[in-house]
Amino acid sequence: MEYPKFTQEHKSLMAKYLTKDVFDSLKDKKTVNGFTISDVVNSGVQNPDSGIGAYAGDEESYTTFAPFFDPIIEEYHGFTKNDKHQSDLNPDNLDAKNPDPDNKFIVSTRIRVGRNVDNMPLGPAITKEQRDEIEKVVSTTLSSLEGSLKGKYFPLDGMSKEDQDALIKDHFLFKEGDRFLETAGLNRNWPLGRGIYHNTEKTFLVWVNEEDQLRIISMQQGGDIKEVFTRLTTAIGELEKKMKFSFNEHLGYITSCPTNLGTAMRASVHIAVPKLAADMEKFKAICDKHHLQIRGIHGEHSESEGGVYDISNKRRLGVTEVQCVQDMYDGVVELIKVEKSLA
């Protein structure tokens, strides 16, 4: 196994922390699923513009390759190898009165968590058979949901291109062909084993076997952030009655990308702040102050359209789910206040 050939273009945390010494100390190790350090870093080696550049093949990757992952997790999350993650999925603890009841700024709200099935490899190391089994178990479990969560599972295999493109355009379905996921081994056997579940209103959705084995999503038009969070926590509670998700007291919920560890939660609004966005320095300063990330209108690696931005919490590990949503909410309140002041 050769040490990767890095160039000046490789600026990821992977390139920073995979020193030759660290590589030599790990190159002969394999996880129980046969995952190696070269497998972990392939995405970042092939994509020099990666921010992190590493994906775990299983929960064990985070301990087998700890000399590599620990400093990345510490730098990205400010979370040391001795810290313990805490979870709080109780919406009663969230102080989030709708900040935009007249819908002048917030187009829509979406809160998602990633989950992976306990005692199974993660997407980069899973076999086709294991992934197909996960699709069967998860889709069957979802199809037993009742009330407002009741809906239908739609396998990607056999879905018409028109239906698929419409769901992606309307922000409901994951995009295809992400090069970072491809080189992490997450797109193997595509589209087999992948699909989407959603209720009739498309306010509760679950992606199956994309970057994580489940992406549990609550979303709706407008800014009632507390209602979106309440629906999500209710759904998670229902699923946890029937499935066990990969979790440990140090890293919280286990995900393939280290950026999602802990809560694996991204709470976002699509918000129109055209006046503030005309001063990107000021816009970014407010987002930084509230630990917020700015994405484009179609999520990661996309651009804003019409002055509408995807604003979400950046912190996921070492904070609770309530704190993730509170980070986003508090930032959105200030963004709206400043946008109004510029009117």
Q: Count residues near ligand DAR (CB under 6 A).
A: 11
Q: Which stretch binds ligand ADP (CB under 6 A): 193-201, 264-272, 314-322, 331-339?
A: 264-272
Q: Which stretch binds ligand DAR (CB under 6 A): 26-34, 50-58, 104-112, 322-330?
A: 50-58
**How many Cβ atoms sit within 10 Å of the Cβ of residue 24?**
11
Candidates 272, 266, 271; CA nearest to 314 is 266
Q: Give, as ranges, the residues between 253 and 292 that touch ligand DAR (CB under 6 A).
A: 257, 259-260
The verdict on 295 binding ligand ADP (CB under 6 A) reads yes
Of the candidate residues 231, 270, 290, 291, the single one contacting ligand ADP (CB under 6 A) = 270
Candidates 220, 193, 223; CA nearest to 207 is 193
Q: Which stretch binds ligand ADP (CB under 6 A): 12-20, 22-30, 126-134, 263-271?
A: 263-271
How far are the Cα atoms of 84, 87, 218, 262, 332 from residue 323, in angstroms, in the given order?
Answer: 16, 10, 17, 12, 14
Q: Minimum distance from CB of 325 to ligand ADP (Å)?
A: 12
Of the candidate residues 11, 16, 30, 171, the single one contacting ligand ADP (CB under 6 A) = 171
DSSP string, 69-98: HHHHHHHHH---TT--------GGG-----
Q: Which residues are catalytic?
A: 112, 211, 215, 257, 259, 266, 295, 300
3-state secondary structure of 107: strand
The verdict on 75 binding ligand DAR (CB under 6 A) reads no
The verdict on 215 binding ligand ADP (CB under 6 A) reads yes
Residues 6+ apart with CB under 8 A from 49: 9, 11
* Residues 68, 54 contacting (CB under 8 angstroms): yes
- Partner whose footprint covers residue 50, from ligand ADP, ligand DAR, none (CB < 5 to 8 Å by kind): ligand DAR
Residues 6+ apart with CB under 8 A from 239: 115, 141, 142, 214, 216
18 vs 265, beta carbon nearer ligand ADP: 265
- How far is C-alpha 237 from the geometric centre of its chain's CA atoms? 19
The verdict on 52 binding ligand DAR (CB under 6 A) reads yes
Q: Are strands 106-115 and 214-221 parallel, antiparallel or unpaired?
A: antiparallel
The verdict on 299 binding ligand ADP (CB under 6 A) reads yes
37 vs 56, beta carbon nearer ligand ADP: 56
Q: Give, as ranges, the residues between 175 and 204 that touch ligand DAR (CB under 6 A).
A: 180
Of the candidate residues 75, 95, 300, 305, the single one contacting ligand ADP (CB under 6 A) = 300
Candidates 240, 246, 268; CA nearest to 324 is 268
CA gap 133, 236 in Å, rounded: 20
CA gap 63, 66 in Å, rounded: 5
Q: Give, as ranges, the residues between 84 and 123 that touch ligand ADP (CB under 6 A).
A: 108-110, 112
* Interacting residues toward ligand ADP by CB under 6 A: 108-110, 112, 171, 215, 219, 266, 268-270, 295, 297-300, 310
The residue ranges that bind ligand DAR (CB under 6 A) are 12, 50-53, 180, 211, 257, 259-260, 300
